[in-house]
Amino acid sequence: MSAPDAKQDDSLRSWGLLPRPAPQIPVTIRSRHAPLPRSPDKSALPRGMGRSYGDVCLNGDGLLLMTDRLDRWISFDPVTGILQCESGVSLDAILRLAVPLGWFPAVTPGTRFVSVGGAIANDVHGKNHHRAGTFGAHVRGFELLRSDGARQWCSRGSHADRFRATIGGLGLTGLITRAELQLQPIHNPMMDTEDIRMDGLASFFDLADESDAHWDYTVAWIDGLATGNQLGRGIFMRGNHAGPEVAASEKKLRKPIEVPLHAPDVALNRQSIRLLNFLQHQKLRGDRQQKQTHFAPFFYPLDGVGGWNKLYGRRGFYQYQFVVPRDGPHSPVREILRTLSESDESVFLAVLKCFGDAPPEGLLSFPRPGVTLALDFPNRGESTRKLMHELDEIVFSNGGALYPAKDARMSPEHFRQSFPALDLFQAHIDPAFSSDFARRVEAIPVKATP
Ligand SMILES: Cc1cc2nc3c(=O)[nH]c(=O)nc-3n(C[C@H](O)[C@H](O)[C@H](O)COP(=O)(O)OP(=O)(O)OC[C@H]3O[C@@H](n4cnc5c(N)ncnc54)[C@H](O)[C@@H]3O)c2cc1C
């Protein structure tokens, strides 16, 4: 293969704009029937829409198999909601196709700008994990193209081990060319929602328990800078797809407004974040607010502003997402929030959610029973890393795990602790595939590197 020159291209970075990879060689896959591009001395990694925060979608000094042209529909049955499409199709495209026909992705992350291949490879979760499990639970099968030219249709009934390794497999088991998904039926694009003010962590757990049976989607926004008896204050948000009696809004999915430039590094400091948190808390009138809303602002509040990651400035930002076993109101989450409140670092976004008990779909799936918190930190260098190191101690001494899709810094030891099935997974890694993440956390046994 004659590969184009390696590129130090900003569009080939990851969402956190943090690790700047060594130059990468993008190779566009134009047809799902084409053979896999190979290079004798370079590893390959599939690339979706680059919405992972850390380095699972980076492959410095290697090939990036760009899937944006694998964007074709293959079949859709509007009676059963079974959709087959190429792996570069985005959730945004699926929503545009399926919602008018009364169908919706069974699981969606907090952005619709992810590809089907990326959603499978990180086995992403949404606000309905307690009801529906992860994205992988609704994948009926996919075709995997390996570097030896083999094409395998993987499903629960065929190549089942490889199916489990590829769901959450971080792009290391081969290229997913097409996939078959089960969508869920809806009556219209509207959501019944309720926002409830929480004065602390105990109210979060009470509300999560109370909502489990009747609300499909639950999540909480937490004020990560609150201190003392306000620790864990925030807003609990829950929603269900609206019933047939609700009039559908005419609202169309809009293209995001783009942030043109990186913000100055001082834009998101502790003072401005404290003010934004205060305003967010005050936005809710009274203690409880019910409303009907279109699905877009409910699921994708950040998608209205394209490139919002640039607001963190040129130094980028870390997202630190962990899961820990839930331990009532004395959970490790309290210890984490206390550590945050005592630190000088700024937490811009803090999102808390209880995972359900669904067994993991993939060998390396992140969600497991417990509570997960996602924290965004502007990168201030050593002091930010020191804080995350302190958080690691709390997470891992409580038997927790970190989420690879968000990670730019976990150690090989913490990766191994987070994913006890790593040894089983390694047998499925394609020897021609690798990534910056895989090398950093030593996911690939040394002899398997090309
Ligand atoms: C605003 C925002 C909100 C988010 N909210 C959530 C959330 O609520 N829950 C959650 O779980 N995640 C969330 N994420 C993370 C995001 O959903 C995942 O990182 C997702 O995997 C990104 O998909 P992508 O298409 O951009 O893939 P990329 O980031 O490009 O790649 C992700 C991984 O998938 C692999 N891959 C991509 N395509 C293929 C393919 N065809 N075959 C094999 N492997 C492939 C890549 O090699 C890489 O390892 C969020 C991200 C953002 C920016």
Ligand 1 mean position, distance from CA 128 (Å): 17
Total number of residues shown for the chain:
450
Q: What is the mean pLDDT of residues 290-318?
A: 91
What angle do helix axes 382-397 and 332-342 make, rounded to 10 degrees?
160
Q: If residue 192 lies in a helix (H) or strand (E), which one and from where to where?
A: strand 190-198
Residue 16 is given by DSSP the state: T
Distance 357 CA to ligand 1 centre (A): 23
Any ligand 1 atom below 6 A from CB of 231? no
User: Which residues, 6+ apart, have CB-to-CB distance to 69 below 8 Å?
Assistant: 28, 29, 30, 88
Ligand 1: residue of 18, 111, 113, 429 to mutate (most ligand atoms within 8 A of CB) is: 111
**What was the pLDDT predicted at 330?**
60
Mean pLDDT, rounded, for 64-73? 98
Average pLDDT over residues 74-81: 98
Query: Would the CB of 52 count as within 6 Å of ligand 1?
Result: yes
User: CA–CA separation, 374 vs 221, rounded Å?
Assistant: 10
Band of pLDDT at residue 319, cut at 50, 70 and 90: very high
Please determine, for residue 148, whether its predicted confidence score (pLDDT) is greater than 80.
yes
pLDDT band at 448 (very low <50, low <70, confident <90, very high): very low
Is pLDDT above 90 for 311? Answer: no
Give residue 348's pLDDT band: very low, low, confident or very high (50, 70, 90).
confident
Is the CB of residue 126 below 6 angstroms from any atom belonging to ligand 1? yes
Buried b (16+ CB within 10 A) or exposed e, 305-315: eeebbbbbbee
User: Is the separation of the CB atoms in 253 and 296 below 8 Å?
Assistant: yes
Q: Whose CA is nearest to atom 53 of ligand 1?
A: 51
174-181: average pLDDT: 98
* pLDDT tens, position by position, 379-390: 999 999 999 999
Residue 306's pLDDT is what? 86
| C-alpha of residue 112 to centroid of ligand 1, in Å | 10
166 pocket-lining for ligand 1 (C-beta < 6 Å)? no
- The protein residue whose alpha carbon is closest to atom 13 in ligand 1 is 109
Q: Which residues pair with 96 in a beta bridge?
A: none
Q: What is the tens place of the pLDDT at every residue in 191-205?
A: 999 999 999 999 999
CA-closest residue to ligand 1 atom 3? 110
Tell me which of 13-17, 249-253, 408-412, 440-444 is least confident. Answer: 249-253
Q: What pLDDT digit, counting tens, does each position of 233-288 carry?
A: 999 999 999 999 887 666 677 777 777 667 666 566 666 666 666 666 666 778 89
| Residue (of 358, 374, 298, 352) closest to 130 by Cα position | 358
**Among 1-15, 57-71, 134-148, 173-187, which is the least confidently predicted range?**
1-15
| 285, 335, 417 from 393: Cα distances, Å | 38, 11, 12
Which one of 32, 47, 259, 320 would you pick to mutate in the ligand 1 pocket, going by the greatest count of ligand atoms within 8 A of its CB?
47
Q: Is the CB of 83 under 6 A from ligand 1?
A: no
> What's the rounded mean pLDDT across residues 147-172?
98
Q: How far is CA 423 from the centre of its chain?
A: 24
Does the CB atom of residue 17 touch ligand 1 within 6 A? no
Residue 184: predicted pLDDT: 98
Whether residue 351 contacts residue 299, with contact meaning beta carbons closer than 8 Å, is answered with no
Ligand 1 and 171: CB distance under 6 A? yes
Q: Which protein residue's CA is at the shortest distance from atom 33 of ligand 1? A: 118
Q: Which atom of ligand 1 is nearest to the CA of 309?
A: 53
Class of domain 190-245+262-408: alpha beta
Amino acid, res. 291: K
Alpha carbons 113 and 15: distance in angstroms, whole number? 12
Residue 282 burial (10 A CB sphere; 0-12, 13-18, 19+) = exposed
Q: Is the pLDDT of residue 406 over 50?
A: yes
Distance between CA atoms of residues 315 and 352, nearest Å: 25
Closest-CA residue to 62 (of 443, 438, 316, 403):
438
Give the rounded percent of residues in the chain with a pLDDT score beyond 90.
Answer: 77
- pLDDT on residue 1: 43
**What's the pLDDT score for residue 434?**
98
For ligand 1, whether the C-beta of 299 sits within 6 Å is no
How far apart are alpha carbons 108 and 447 in whole angstroms? Answer: 37
48 ligand 1 Cβ < 6 A? yes
Is pLDDT at 339 greater than 90 in this prediction? yes
Give the mutation target among 115, 134, 176 for probing the ligand 1 site: most ligand atoms within 8 A of CB: 115
Q: Above 90 in pLDDT, residue 52?
A: yes
273 within ligand 1 shell (Cβ under 6 A): no
Spatial separation of the C-alpha atoms in residues 67 and 146, rounded to whole Å = 15
User: How far away, in angstroms, is 202 Cα from ligand 1 center?
Assistant: 32
Q: Is 27 in the pocket of ligand 1 (CB under 6 A)?
A: no
Model pLDDT, residue 123? 98
Mean pLDDT of 70-87: 98
In short, whether 15's Cβ falls inside 6 Å of ligand 1 is yes
What's the gap in Å between 124 CA and the centre of ligand 1?
7
Strands 288-294 and 175-182 turn out to be: unpaired
Residues with Cβ within 8 Å of residue 366, at least 6 apart in sequence: 122, 123, 125, 168, 323, 401, 403, 404, 405, 418
Handedness of CA 427, 67, 310, 223 (dihedral sign): negative
Q: What is the pTM of this model?
A: 0.94
- For the chain, domain boundaries: 190-245+262-408
Closest approach atom of ligand 1 to CA 122: 21
- Given this model, what pLDDT does residue 177 score? 98
The CB-side HSE value for 192 (13 A sphere, CA atoms) comes to 13
50 lines ligand 1 (CB under 6 A): yes
